[in-house]
Each structure stands twice: as C-alpha cells, then as structure tokens.
Structure 1
Amino acid sequence: MTHDNRPLIALDIDGVLRPIDPDPSLFESGWQTREVTVTPENWPRRRYLIGPPPHAVQFPITFNPAHGVWINRLIDRGVECAWLTSWEETANAFWPELLGIPELPMAASHEQGDLSKMSMTAEEWKFYSITERHAGRPIVWIDDWNAPFDEERFAGCGRPAWIFEDEPWGTPDALVITTDARFGLTAEQMSRVDAFVDRFLPPKG
C-alpha cells in the first residue's frame, strides 16, 4: 500500500501505446513505425511473455508521438504515470526514447509481493497488484484486456479472500479505459482521462 494521493495512470503497452495489427488509418493521423534492436539481454523475462530471441533482431514498433506529449503534460501537472505491462522494466529500454518521455516507474511488477506466485491471468495479476499496492489513490488503468475489471471492482466489490476486511483495499475513485488493440489509445480516451484527473488536481494555471 502507498500513502501517495496523486492520481496514478497505470499504462499498458501492447494494444495501448503499441497497436496490435494496427488499422491502416492510424498512419494518416500521426502514428509512426520505427525498428528497434531487441537482444536476448534486453528482452523481458516474465511469465506472460514468450522467451527471448536467440540473437539480436530488428523489431518494428508502431507508436504515436502525441502519447508522449500527453504523458509529459500529465507528469508536469503532478500525475504519476507508471507502467503496468508485461514488458515491465524493459519498457524503459525503448519507450522513453520513442515517445520523448522520462523513464517511468512500475505501478506493479513481479518483483513486488507474492501475487506472481498465484495462478492468474496477466489482467488478474495487474488488477490485484495495483488495487492492493495503491489502495485509496485515484487510479486510471488503461489496457486492452481489462474490461471485466470495472470501477465497481476497484471500489471494493473485487476484494479477494486473502485481503482481510480491516486492510486497505481498492479505491472509490477509479477509471478503467479499455482500448481496441487495433487502434490503441485514442484522443477521446485521453480526454476522458484528463477530465478524471482534473477532479484531483489544482486548476490549470
């Protein structure tokens, strides 16, 4: 659990910042593709990903520079933007340079706590990790597979048996953004996030 009361934006990558099988129309609205070098050393070794390549390979990443502008603006206003992705710490090997953002902390990782030892899907692990670790904070969770985990579950309806009733759990202030993996995070969805965090920040100067 944390006593930080800043709004937290928990960001997935695949299907959010990196579209999967991207719709061709994206490239008419500012999206770009760049090849990065992936090596066995910088490939994330996590339970939800396939193993590393046997040698260095060129890996195409489609991204939208507008996401970097948006993330930097949120950070400047006092919002904590953090990774919640199976890329885990490896995200900082590629995405800060692509988007022009600082390295981001992990909202949760498999190095923190015991949830990774349980039999869970990636999305279950993400939900339980941030809802326990960041109890009480305003939370925005942006993912392409998080639809079952709505705001009611963040508010306490999803309290698992291993979290006792007198332990902090969940938050009454949550926003769940579910992206379409072909299109990634849209301008309309970013506007919804902006409107949500505005409730917890000083007025814009």
Structure 2
Amino acid sequence: MRGSGGSRRRPLLYLDVDGPLNPYAAKPERRPAGYATHRMKPQGWLDQHPGEPAAYVKPLRVWLNEEHGRRLLELGRRYDLVWATTWGAEANTYIGPVLGLPELPVVEWPGETARAGAAERSGTGARPGVDRDPGADGTSWPAGLFWKTPHLVEHAAGRPFAWVDDELTAVDRTFVTRRHGPHALLHRVDPRLGLREPDFTTLAEFARTGTRPGGDTGTVG
C-alpha cells in the first residue's frame, strides 16, 4: 500500500466510520443529539448474512451527523482526508453523500484482515488483534495491537498523519512511534458519543503545529 498523493508535508487524516461518525455503541433508545437515523444495506453488511436473500436482511442502522461533514471539509484545508474503515469504498457510496463529502481515497485492507475486522460494522463481536495477523516477514505483531495499525503505518509511508478511531490504545501508540516516528496523532473517539467539538479542536491543532493541545506529540487521545 502506498500513501495518497499530495505534498509530502501535508498530513493525512484517516477516518474510521463506526465509532467516530456512527456512534454505534450509544443506547438504541438514546440517539445522540444532532444525529439522524439511516438504514443501509451495503454489500459488506449483506456479506455477513450468507445464504440470506438481500431483501430479507435487516438493514444496518447507522447514525450520522451532517455537521460532521462540514467540519471535516474545514479540516480538509489542512489534511488529505482518507477513509480507513471496513466500509472500504462503500464509505464513498453510503457515508460520504450523507455528510456532503466528496469521494475520498480509501485504504485497502488485506482480504482476510478486512473480513475479520468487518465485525466492527455491526458493533458486535471482538475486534481481532493483529498478533493473529503476522507481518509480511512472517513475524507476529505485539499482542493487543489493533489490526489496522501496521497497515496504516505502511500506507502513510512516512507522511505525518492523524487517525480517528474507537479502538486505539497505548499499544498502538508505541508501535506507531517506533515504526513511523513522532509525527502522528492517534485519537480515540468514544463510540457512544462520536466526534465532538474537542475532537475537532485537537485535530485542527495537530494540523497546525504537529502537536496536541498541551504540547504532546503523536499521542493517543
């Protein structure tokens, strides 16, 4: 995988869908303020119901906040926005249009890893650690490492980047610092709440200075 086009100095902003944009973990009867409910049947969702006719598959409930689109477009003045989600290219079909986003580049995950990670779309099931997904040289990654992390380090190819996701931990921070260097912001978003104003402030500050508010560089938010 190679990094997206654009200036080597312009940071990437990797966007997860489920958690940051779709607060799937919020209580079903308590849709977060500002969100609208959408019912979708992306192919990735249908694939999780093998043998069941598409017409009988219950649509996936997705909560989206159109204000997020405006805020992401503002950040797009400083970042190159990239989908980093198991929705894959379907994020451009189902999520982007609702938020008013243009078609964005998409990180392509290895096939087996992508299928394993698709559980995050439903908000159920454990997220697989990459210790069960060995690297290209046959070695295993550290236990507890999020399966997306090594692939995004490879995709960034040395460019500064920020990444919003609901599955980030200190293990990922350490891995990125060692493999990529300090110019990365791993910002965890609570999947019960989705992106909020402090998150956008943090992302804007990192794009401007390369540090989080408070002076930390390359941390997990």
TM-score by length of 1: 0.73
User: CA offset at residue 44 of structure 1?
Assistant: 1.9
2:24–2:62 contact (8 Å) kept in structure 1:
no
User: CA offset at residue 122 of structure 1?
Assistant: 11
Distance 1:34 1:106, change over 3 A: same
Could you say which residue in structure 1 is the equivalent of 2:209? 199
Residue 32 of structure 2 aligns to a residue whose secondary structure is helix
Correspondence 1:119-158 to 2 at 5 A: 119-120=132-133, 124-156=146-178
Correspondence 1:71-90 to 2 at 5 A: 71-75=72-76, 77-90=77-90
User: CA offset at residue 78 of structure 1?
Assistant: 4.1
In 2: Cα distance, 1:122 partner to 1:175 partner: 19
In 2: Cα distance, 1:130 partner to 1:90 partner: 19
2:21–2:68 contact (8 Å) kept in structure 1:
yes
> Given the alignment, which residue of 20, 24, 32 partners 2:36?
32
Provide, for residues 80-111 of structure 1, a one-character-per-residue CA deviation record: whole Å limited to 9, x for no partner: 11111111111111011110111111134336
Provide, for residues 29-69 of structure 1, a one-character-per-residue CA deviation record: whole Å limited to 9, x for no partner: x2221233x1xxx41289xx834652135433211112100
Distance 1:155 1:122, change over 3 A: closer
1:10–1:141 contact (8 Å) kept in structure 2:
yes
The 4+ residue runs of structure 1 with deviation greater than 6 A are none
1:119 maps to amino acid: R
1:154–1:174 contact (8 Å) kept in structure 2:
yes
1:131–1:171 contact (8 Å) kept in structure 2:
no
- The yes-or-no answer on 1:60 pairing with 2:61 is yes
Could you say which residue in structure 1 is the equivalent of 2:140? none
Residue 191 of structure 2 aligns to a residue whose secondary structure is coil
Could you say which residue in structure 2 is the equivalent of 1:180? 190
User: CA offset at residue 128 of structure 1?
Assistant: 0.4
TM-score by length of 2: 0.68
1:11–1:81 contact (8 Å) kept in structure 2:
yes
1:86 maps to amino acid: T
Could you say which residue in structure 2 is the equivalent of 1:190? 200
Point out where structure 2 has 5 or more consecutive residues left out of the alignment.
117-130, 134-142, 211-221
